[in-house]
Structures are given as structure tokens and as C-alpha cells.
Amino acid sequence: MTTSEVAWQRLDRRTVIVNTLNAAGVCVVAGVPTGIGVGGATSPRLALAIIVPAALLIVGVVALADHLRWHKTRYRVLTDRVELHKGILVRSRRSLSRERIRSVDLTANLLLRFFGLVTVKIGTGEQTGTGTSLALYPVSKAEGERLRTELLDRTPSGTGDGRRNGVLAAIDLGWVRFAPMSFVTPTLGVAAFGAVLQVAEWFGLQEGVITWTIDRMRDLPLVAAILVLVVIGMVVGVIGATGLFVEMWWQYRLEREPGGTLRVRRGLLTSRSISLEERRLRGVELVEPLGNRLVGAARVDAVATGLAKQKESEKTDHKTLLPSAPRHVADRVAAEVLREDVSPTSAVRLRPHPVAARGRRIRWGLACVAAVVAPLLVLGWLLSVEVLLHLAWICAVVLVPVAVVLAIDAYRNLGHGLTGDYLVARSGTVRRGTVALQRRGVIGWTARQSIFQRRKGLLTLTATTAAGTGAYSVHDVGESDGLAFAESAVPDLFGPFLERG
């Protein structure tokens, strides 16, 4: 078949309806508060007379523009490449080589799902440069699936092992209990208060809301009032975190498809399908935020090439293969994903680091406490404000034990080891990460030593890799041990430059 015989295809025509509805929605959301604001200042009729035609104009322009965009966008899949022509004023012609395609991700928000449409994003997994992905917004769901299977279909590699295909993990709604035990909860709680004040401000009611709240709280002592606000914030945060988890992970399934592709499907309102070629996988990271670790839960992230340059907001959810789940599930999924019998993160015998590393962590912890307490002391003393002095010692009494406990925990979590084809490194306390990295995925070593570390005989060893964050570190390992570890993990990198004595 020659190039000219392959027919060009268009996006789904219903994009015009979808985008028109989207624009209408935005107009309503933005127009109503504006209308109330303008109407309050002048007269309701005038407000309607301005805002309704403006909204209709915007919706009309969007509909027309989207129709033009649909008309001007064409794509086709050739035997060796995918081509996309688009652009209303500035025409752009892009072509991706098919053998460089590493991912085909499908997402559909509620509106797209209603019309049976999906957005297709075809990526090449290159770390640098632009023009490494194509987005088709939108095509029909069947067309999306067809593109996905066609573009990711590769002849099964020799390691293809039939019994490991199929569903590797599926959602257990009990996991939702781990969702609120993270930083998401307080963040959402604080954000909720902010949102209430912001909305109140749009309607010019901000002062009213604040006075109303103070009136409710007047009879309570200050401490109780603060507690009530904190509890409300936490409750909102817990509800928010739970809701977020359900939205993100509803109908979650992790599957392995013949041909060596891992596929994550999930989402309540917005459905997502994320594919990851196993060829790109260089290991996994078992992530245990403090709250989850205390109740024995862990999350599994992929360490894969070509994921690093996702947008900041997409980064965590694209690489997550398993949301926070009981530790034994996480271990099993990690093992399945890597096609091992036991996950390297649990098979490994981690070697502890020198005691000097503990002293360093305690000193860092105390320095952080001092950074909080010292300004309070200085200000309190200079300005002779007794409250600040009291605050200073209360902070010190509360924070010093916390800092010391976290420091000791951080030290106990340090470890490194080798098992089979993997090197494993663990560190962190608030977020404990245990990374298992394939030795062949290590493309360089960096050893880093501050003058303080030098005095204690420690160094920080970093394996650089094309995958994940690009570098994974073994923190504060004994100098000689660390170098021996580096050499036995990946021979002949540091080897020729080592000396004994």
C-alpha cells in the first residue's frame, strides 16, 4: 500500500457540540456572578442586556471556531508513521515515527463520555524537545481503542509468559480508607476555607461571612473556637480526599496485555486509560507516606523512561500503577509488574548505614526546630512581647521530640542492597520510598560528599538513569561500602577509578 492510498481521517464531528456545550457552561458559571454583581450595581435588566448577548456571541464564536478546527484537522496511520495536519491560520504538519511511539493514553471527561468520545494522546517517550506527542481531541471511543491497539501492537517479545497476562490488580473499595491519611486532607481543608471566602467575595458578602462566623463562635473560648474550625477543616478535608480518591481510582484495573504493555484503567467522572510499554520499565518504587506506613499501606509507582516530562499535575497519576493499598497487595503487584516471583523491594536484605548518618539527621531536625524557635525568641526579647516567649518554649517542647523521633525514623529507614537484577535503595520518613532499579537501567554514577560528610566518612551515591526522576540516591552511606556497592551493582563504571588504602 503506498502512502497516498491511505485515507485521511477526521476527528469526530460531535466535537463541535461538546465544545459549544463547554463554552456555554463556562458562560453560565462566569456570567451568573458577573450578572449579580453588575445587576446589583446598576439594574438587573441592564445586566441581562449586556451579559446575555455577550454570552451568546462567545458561544457562537466557539462553535464556529471549533467547526473550522474540525474541518482543518486530519490524521492518518501509515505503516511507518502517524501524521497529523491541523491549524486554522497557522497550518502544522506533524508526523511521528511509529517505532518511536511509546504510549497511547485515552482520557474522557464526563461530557465526552456522554457522547461516547475520547481524547487520544500519542507519546514517544522522549525526554527532551517539543513535538514528541500528538493529541487527537476527540475521536469516537471505538476509534480510540482501535488506534491504541494498532499503535501499541508489537510482536510479543521472547519473555512473553502467558500466565502473567490478564488482570494484575483491581480496585478494592476498602482501600479508600488510606486516601485521607495523607497531605491531601489538610490541604483540601485549608483550601475549603479559602474557597468559601473567595465565593463570598464574588457576591460581596465576605465581611458578612466573617462576622457571622465570629458571632457563632463568640460564646466559645478561643481554644475551643480554633478546635471547632480545625475539626470542620479536617472533616471537609477527609470528605474531599475520599471523593478525590473515588474520582481518580473508581473501576481501577491494572492489566498486562499480550505484546508487553501494562494498562491502567480508572476514573469515575473522567475515565483514563494509561498504557506503559514494559520495554520502558526500569523498575518500581514502593512509596509509603507516613500516614499510610503506620497502617501498613503502600503505593506502587513505575520507574519508566519517557514519563518524566509530563505536566506537573499529570506526573503522579501517570506513573502510579497501584494506589495506596495494603502492603502485601503492593508487594504482589510490584512482583507481577516486574515479572519476578517476589518483589525485589521485599526480597532484598537492606544494609543499614553508619551511625554517623543518624547524628546528621538529628542535627538537621534540631536545626529546623531552631529556625522556628529562634525568631520567636529574638522577636519576643527585642519587642518584650511575653506571648512570643511563651510560644517559643511551647514550640520547642512540642517540636524537639517530634524532630528527634522523625530523625531516628529517617535513619532507620536508610538502606541499600542488591537482589537479582535489581539494586534497591530506601530513604525518607514522611514519604518513605523504596526504589528497585534494574541494574542495566543505571547509566552513570555520581558520588557527592560535603565537607561534613567527608569528616564522618559518608557519601551520597546517586544512580543516574533515563527513567523516572532521572536519579535515585543512596543517602549517607559509608564511603567505602557505598563505592563497593556501586561497583558490585553495575561493574566497570566507578571500578577503574577506585583505589584501595
Partner 1 sequence: MSGTSQGEGARLRLRPPRNQVDRRAVAWWRAGILVFWAVPVLVLVVLGILLPGARFWLLAPAVAIMVVIVPLAIGMPLWWYRVHRWEVTDEAVYTRTGAVWQEWRVAPMSRIQTVDTQRGPLEQYFGLATVTVTTASAKGAVKIPGLDHELASDLVRQLTETTHATPGDAT
Grid-cell match 495506596, residue found? 324
> Closest separation between CB of residue 97 and partner 1, Å?
15
CA-closest candidate to residue 141, choices 133, 132, 149 = 149
Smaller CB separation from partner 1, 355 or 383:
355
Contact segment (CB under 8 A) with partner 1 among 1-9, 315-323, 387-395, 439-447 equals: 439-447
Q: How far is CA 130 from the centre of its chain?
A: 21
Going 397 to 403 to 408 to 412, the CA torsion angle's sign is: positive
CA angle 46, 49, 51 (to 5 degrees): 105
Mark residues 459-498: x for contact with partner 1 by CB under 8 A, - for none: ---x-xxxx-xxx------xxxx-xx--x----xxx-xxx
Q: How far apart are CA 425 and CA 406, in angstroms?
A: 19
> Closest separation between CB of residue 501 and partner 1, Å?
6
Does position 456 interact with partner 1 (CB under 8 A)? The reply is yes
Segment 283 to 312, residues that bind partner 1, using CB under 8 A:
305, 308
Q: How far apart are CA 326 and CA 337, in angstroms?
A: 17
Mark residues 327-356: x for contact with partner 1 by CB under 8 A, - for none: ---------------------------xxx
Decide: 104 and 135 in contact? Cβ < 8 Å: no
Smaller CB separation from partner 1, 34 or 469:
469
- State whether residue 428 is helix, strand or coil: coil
Residue of 40, 166, 194, 457 that binds partner 1 (CB under 8 A): 457
> Closest separation between CB of residue 463 and partner 1, Å?
9
Does position 228 interact with partner 1 (CB under 8 A)? The reply is no
Q: How far apart are CA 22 and CA 58, in angstroms?
A: 11
Decide: 176 and 239 in contact? Cβ < 8 Å: no
Mark residues 353-392: x for contact with partner 1 by CB under 8 A, - for none: -xxx------------------------------------
Smaller CB separation from partner 1, 255 or 421:
421
Smaller CB separation from partner 1, 47 or 486:
486
> Closest separation between CB of residue 451 and partner 1, Å?
6
> Closest separation between CB of residue 324 and partner 1, Å?
27
Burial (CB count <10 Å: 0-12, 13-18, 19+), residue 206: middle
Q: Which amino acid is at 457?
A: G
> Closest separation between CB of residue 351 and partner 1, Å?
8
> Closest separation between CB of residue 100 and partner 1, Å?
12
Smaller CB separation from partner 1, 106 or 262:
262
**Sheet of strand 271-277, all strands in order from the earlier edge strand to the far edge:** 133-140, 117-123, 103-108, 271-277, 261-266, 253-257, 166-170
Q: Which residues pair with 229 in a beta bridge?
A: none
CA-closest candidate to residue 487, choices 436, 448, 442, 433 = 442
Contact segment (CB under 8 A) with partner 1 among 12-20, 313-321, 404-412, 438-446 equals: 438-446
> Closest separation between CB of residue 396 and partner 1, Å?
30
Smaller CB separation from partner 1, 108 or 436:
436
Q: Could you tell me whether strands 166-170 and 471-478 are parallel, antiparallel, or unpaired per DSSP bridges? A: unpaired
> Closest separation between CB of residue 95 and partner 1, Å?
22
Does position 9 interact with partner 1 (CB under 8 A)? The reply is no
Residues 6+ apart with CB under 8 A from 22: 62, 111
> Closest separation between CB of residue 452 and partner 1, Å?
9
Segment 397 to 436, residues that bind partner 1, using CB under 8 A:
none
Grid-cell match 463570598, residue found? 200
Smaller CB separation from partner 1, 107 or 305:
305
> What are 46's three cell numbers?
441592564
Burial (CB count <10 Å: 0-12, 13-18, 19+), residue 140: middle
For 187-247, the DSSP string reads HHHHHHHHHHHHHHHHTT-HHHHHHHHHHHHTTS-HHHHHHHHHHHHHHHHHHHHHHHHHH
> Closest separation between CB of residue 479 and partner 1, Å?
6
Residue of 101, 284, 445, 474 that binds partner 1 (CB under 8 A): 445
Smaller CB separation from partner 1, 355 or 397:
355
> Closest separation between CB of residue 188 and partner 1, Å?
31
Smaller CB separation from partner 1, 234 or 418:
418
Segment 127 to 166, residues that bind partner 1, using CB under 8 A:
127
Residues 6+ apart with CB under 8 A from 95: 81, 82, 83, 84
Which residues sit at the interface with partner 1, rule CB under 8 A?
Answer: 127, 305, 308, 354-356, 441, 443-451, 454, 456-458, 462, 464-467, 469-471, 478-481, 483-484, 487, 492-494, 496-501
